[in-house]
Structure 1
Amino acid sequence: MAFVVSGCQGLLAVVFLASAVSKLRGGRALRAFAASLAAMRLVSRSRAAFVAATLAAAEGCVAVLLAVPLTRQAGFAAAIALLAVLTAGVAVVLARDGGVPCRCFGASPAPLSGRHLVRNLLLVAVALAGLVLPAGSPASTGWLIAFLAGGLGGVIVTLLDDLVELFVPSPTS
């Protein structure tokens, strides 16, 4: 089970790091994320910039907590809490039939859909597995391989919208 936990760590660390970096890479990206939160009617326009910066910073903190073996448990717990908030936001937007683009990992034109909700629920399951399964020592080579394999899974998760668009083009394409 220790390698499963390491894989969960790697997957979530990459997902949260990519999400944070995509929002914090420049003022334009952060403003676009803030605008999307306001367009989704999750926060008021006056609070959108603060909430966007807070979420991006929290994602960065979770990535760091997950990447450090001594803070792994706190990272999994923080990931669960943050994913619960993000998943609730997606559910609210879908219930309103919002059709607002997801800015989860940058400038994707894909509107929020059921796949985003499923993705977040699966990420919650990964975080829960990492939190409750027994973890081994991070000293073994196997730990690093499992962490990197999980990280590769995280890359796939972050590219989900692009992969879907590649294989299932939207009707407007």
Structure 2
Amino acid sequence: MAYVDLIIRTMLSAVFVISSVGKIRTAEAWHDFRSSIDSLEMIPPRLARTTALGVVALEIVVAISLPIPALSMAGLAGSASLLVLFSAVIVRAMRAGRRVECRCFGSSDTPMGVPHLLRNAFLLLATAGGAALSSARAPYSAELLLVSVPAGVAGAVLIASFVELYSLFDNSSPVSQKGRRR
């Protein structure tokens, strides 16, 4: 179970790294993320920058905490908290009829919606699994690291691409209709 535990925590950590880096990798990405927060109309515009900074900072703290055995449970709690918060924001935006582009991983033209909730639900399940399996032991063996870390990173890359992959199979998506003949 140590393998599954470390794969889950590595995957979650990498998801939060990809997410935070995607938001701050360029001035344009940072501006787009702040603007998406403002477009949600859930907080006063003057708080959009502070909120954006807080989100990125919390994602980084969670990403750092998850792979460290002594901090992994705090990292898992932080992961669950952020994912619940993100999901609540998505649901509220959908109910309000706001078509706000998701800047979860920095750049996407896809409005927040069902695929984002499905992705977050999967990540919440992984977080719960990580909490159930968490083993606070160290040091890790070379074999454990060589298997678990690449598997976790590969999982994170797939998760970061989930919305785009989902749109390939969603008949109502403009992405899935691009290559079709009428």
**Shorter-chain TM-score above 0.5:** yes
Equivalent AA in structure 1 for residue 22 of structure 2: S
Shift, 1:14, TM fit: 0.9
Shift, 1:41, TM fit: 1.7
5+ long unaligned stretches in structure 1: none
Kept in 2: contact 1:31–1:49 (CA 8 A): no
2:153 to 141, 151, 162: 151
Kept in 1: contact 2:3–2:148 (CA 8 A): yes
Distance 1:143 1:72, change over 3 A: farther
Within 5 Å, which residues of 2 pair with 1:1-16?
1-16=1-16
User: In structure 2, what is the Cα distance between the partners aligned to 1:60 and 1:134?
Assistant: 20
Shift, 1:165, TM fit: 4.4
Identity of aligned residues (%): 30
User: In structure 2, what is the Cα distance between the partners aligned to 1:97 and 1:138?
Assistant: 49
**Quick check: 134-143 or 110-119, which moved more?**
134-143
Shift, 1:49, TM fit: 0.8
Equivalent AA in structure 2 for residue 32 of structure 1: D
**Quick check: 67-76 or 109-118, which moved more?**
67-76
Q: Provide, for residues 94-136 of structure 1, a one-character-per-residue CA deviation record: whole Å limited to 9, x for no partner.
A: 1222221100001100111111011111111111111122426
Equivalent AA in structure 2 for residue 139 of structure 1: Y
SS at the partner of 1:67?
coil
User: In structure 1, what is the Cα distance between the partners aligned to 2:36 and 2:101?
Assistant: 7
Shift, 1:36, TM fit: 0.5
Kept in 2: contact 1:100–1:112 (CA 8 A): yes
What corresponds to 1:44 in structure 2? 44
Shift, 1:38, TM fit: 1.3
What corresponds to 1:79 in structure 2? 79
User: In structure 1, what is the Cα distance between the partners aligned to 2:118 and 2:167?
Assistant: 17
User: In structure 1, what is the Cα distance between the partners aligned to 2:149 and 2:5?
Assistant: 8
What corresponds to 1:109 in structure 2? 109
User: In structure 2, what is the Cα distance between the partners aligned to 1:85 and 1:166?
Assistant: 27
**Quick check: 16-25 or 127-136, which moved more?**
127-136
What corresponds to 1:140 in structure 2? 141
Kept in 1: contact 2:9–2:66 (CA 8 A): yes
**Quick check: 38-47 or 134-143, which moved more?**
134-143
User: In structure 1, what is the Cα distance between the partners aligned to 2:140 and 2:61?
Assistant: 23
User: In structure 2, what is the Cα distance between the partners aligned to 1:109 and 1:121?
Assistant: 21
Q: Provide, for residues 46-90 of structure 1, a one-character-per-residue CA deviation record: whole Å limited to 9, x for no partner.
A: 111110111011101111111323321211111111111111111
Distance 1:162 1:115, change over 3 A: closer
Equivalent AA in structure 2 for residue 146 of structure 1: S
Shift, 1:45, TM fit: 1.3
Distance 1:149 1:121, change over 3 A: same
User: In structure 2, what is the Cα distance between the partners aligned to 1:114 and 1:124?
Assistant: 15
**Quick check: 20-29 or 55-64, which moved more?**
20-29
5+ long unaligned stretches in structure 2: none
Q: How many residues align?
A: 173
Kept in 2: contact 1:9–1:66 (CA 8 A): yes
